[in-house]
Structure 1
Amino acid sequence: MIQPQVLAVSETLPGRVNALQTAEIRPQVSGIIKRRLFEQGAEIKKGTPLFQINAAPFEAEVSSAQAGLLRAKAANDKAQQQAAHLRPLMKTGAVSRQSFDEAIANARQAAADVAQASAALRRKELDLSFATVGAPISGRIDQALVSEEAYVTASDSTPLARIYQKDPIYVDIHQPAGVYHQLRQQSASQKATTTGVPVKILLPGGAVYHQPGRILFSGISVDTATGDVIVRIEVSNPNRELLPGMFVRVEIPRQHYEDALMVPQ
């Protein structure tokens, strides 16, 4: 006797793994790489020092800017004192109005020179801090793409290294545009969470990945070249088994029947 039963119909499609976030490490100042401060392939935290650019030129520029600021402050003190000294003399007529106005202008120029020298010092200190290249995000860092003693600039086309944030990680697949509405309806009928429909990830060897994925409806976009929908799937990757660029297969549920009637083929 044929009995109604629950039936789930799914489709297996190829997908490509993409990092949650990728950062290219680039210098913000020019100089010679003196040291690499990380182990290639290691997990690092945001702000971890990665490369040390020769800091001697920047330290010298900071010292020069500090000296320039001291000179500007000394000139400013003298100009302010001169203006203060002439003010009562101008009121009594001991000095001309023109001499007093010139002293006031010199005092204002000296104050502006102090502000400019302070800004120049802050810029040189910033350049000195950029000599230590830090990690902009947390993640796993790839191999170094430049060697020690190499000269680098901010305009180089090749980054120093790349950092990949791999947990969680994304898997992208391509589907016809009509699938989007089908998945939304399925999510509502199965009372799935608003963040996505659960799917299975199949590794290159055919084994089922131990962490389920979920379709992110906020991550769905249309490929303008083909008209297909790019469906983004988020999956936990605590052991870093899924690597960016890897091809996997994704088992996506298509239909769900609560009372399907099954007969032998």
Structure 2
Amino acid sequence: MPRLLRVLTAVLTLSLAAATAAPAQQGPAQGGERPPTPVTVVTLRAKDVTLTTRLPGRVVAAGVAEVRPQVAGIITERLFAEGAEVSLGDALYRIDAASYEAQVAAAQAAVAQAEATRGAARKEATRLRELLARNVTSEQAVDDADAALAAAEAGLQVAKAQLLAAEIDLDRTTIKAPLSGTVGRSLTTRGALVTAGQAEPLAVIRSLDPVFVDVTMSAAELVAWRRGHMQARLGDADRTVSLNLPDGGGYEHTGELTAAEPQVDTQTGVVVLRMEFPNPDKLLLPGMYVQVDMPQGVVDNAILAPQEAVGRDRRGRPTAMVVTPENTVEERVLTVLSDRDTDWIVTGGLADGDRVIVAGLQKIAPGAPVAPEERAAPAPAN
């Protein structure tokens, strides 16, 4: 009996010790703080941002010339390679010139005849004046001789004009380039009969460096430009325009605004603007659809926030999670002006030096402690 009592006493003592030790072991686990959640942040910097608007447009050749014959005849030769570069005055086609050479010869003979007639009339007028001085002839005869001389002079001028016209027609049997540029495919063949001023061109030459891009802009925006509001907003910012190609890539050369159509389309309410772009590689072709980024104004001390850092609250307002100096999370409501590439242009809610969270947003909440790590800068493109 004393032994059983000692065993029961030992068991009871161990149970009390375990019950006393259990709360002491669970206390730190229940009352301890959670470790900070690792997040990736981007430190923001304020800077002046130029606002741009994207306008649709079409490429237009700086110059277009349709090659047409100015005399009639049979095409005997084509003198250019299709798609080649030609210069002003280069020979493109040759027309059978036999009939025009004959016309020049006839005109030359007419000039010679008119010169002979004029010479005879001049001699007759001189002789009659000498006779009049000796009272051998009448003044009427002298007047008739002077009139005949004047008619002969006029006849000579007519003959020379006809010779010049014949020489011009003969020269036009060689059809020359009226413009420097790129000539397209030939629209006629050797042996074809052509006529002066025909409706169908023989070929088309286009000047492709530089080229124009015609874009459309709303009348309200154009009025702001006319009144100088846009210029005031732009200040000293770069006013050049950039181009986006049909494949989505950018164009390496920048352009400038050169002209605006002086009327508003009554159906669409837009105005056509013309931009000029260099095209040394002939990458831009007439008719190509492109998009132009045109500067509209400058926002001072704006923040470019990464788009992955901006979300929406239940009311649809743009928000961002910011790491405070104490490394806790703070939710900010933002004022977003527009987008720019992969960023949002923010004018309210964020300041220079703020650290916005771009990764790990699913594991945090406002007020939670975090362990921020700056996102590595992207590697430069090769």
Question: TM-score higher than 0.5 here?
Answer: yes
What is the aligned partner in structure 2 of residue 70 from structure 1? 112
Match of 2:177 among 125, 135, 140: 135
- Structure 2 distance, partners of 1:144, 1:223, is 38
Task: Output the TM-score relative to the length of structure 1.
Answer: 0.90
Q: Does the CA contact (< 8 Å) of 1:177 and 1:222 recur in 2? A: no
Which residue of structure 2 aligns with residue 108 of structure 1?
150
The aligned residue for residue 170 of structure 1 is: 212
Runs of 4+ in structure 1 displaced over 6 angstroms? none
* Post-superposition offset of 1:181: 4.1
**CA 3–118 in structure 1, closer or farther in 2 if over 3 Å, else same:** closer
Residue 100 of structure 2 is aligned with which of 55, 58, 63?
A: 58
Letter in 1 for 2:236: K
Q: Which residue of 2 aligns with 1:160?
A: 202
Instruction: Report if aligned partners of 2:125, 2:146 keep a CA contact under 8 Å in 1.
Output: yes
Q: Give aligned pairs, total.
A: 261
Paired with 2:67 and 2:266, the residues of 1 have a C-alpha distance of 31
Q: Which of the numbers 178, 183, 199 marks the counterpart of 2:241?
A: 199
- The aligned residue for residue 263 of structure 2 is 222
CA RMSD of aligned residues (A): 2.1
The reply on whether 1:117 has 2:156 as its aligned counterpart is no
Task: Give the CA deviation at 1:5.
Answer: 3.0
Q: CA deviation at 1:3?
A: 5.1
Alignment partner, residue 327 of structure 2: none
Change (3 A) 1:4 1:192: closer
Equivalent residue in structure 1 for 2:126, among 81, 84, 104 = 84
1:246 is aligned to 288
Please state how far the C-alpha of 1:125 moved relative to its aligned partner.
0.9
Structure 1: distance between partners of 2:276 and 2:237:
15
CA contact (8 A) 2:50 2:237 kept: no
The 10-residue stretch of structure 1 (97-106 or 140-149) with the greater mean CA deviation from structure 2: 97-106
Where 1:111 maps in the other structure, the secondary structure is: helix
For residue 8 of structure 1, report the CA deviation from its aligned partner. Answer: 3.5
Aligned partners of 2:191 and 2:155: how far apart in 1?
38
With a CA cutoff of 8 Å and minimum separation of 6, indicate the structure with the bigger relative contact order: 1
3-state SS of paired residue (2:175): strand
Q: For 1:94 and 1:57, how far apart are their aligned partners in 2?
A: 52
Supply the distance in 2 between the matched residues of 1:128 and 1:81 (Cα, whole angstroms).
35
| Structure 1 residue 2 displacement after superposition | 6.5
SS of the aligned residue for 1:70 comes to helix
Q: Residue by residue, what CA displacement relative to the aligned partner does 1:155-199 show, whole Å, maximum 9, x if unpaired?
A: 311112111111111111111112224455444524257xxx322
SS in 2 for 1:33: strand
Correspondent of 2:68 among 9, 26, 36: 26
2: CA distance, partners of 1:9 / 1:31:
60
2-structure distance, mates of 1:89, 1:187: 86
Unpaired segments ≥5 residues, structure 1? none
Q: Indicate conservation of the 8 Å contact 2:111/2:156, yes or no.
A: yes
Q: Distance in 1 between matches of 2:187 and 2:57?
A: 28
Cα gap change, 1:32/1:225 in structure 2, threshold over 3 Å: closer, same or farther?
farther
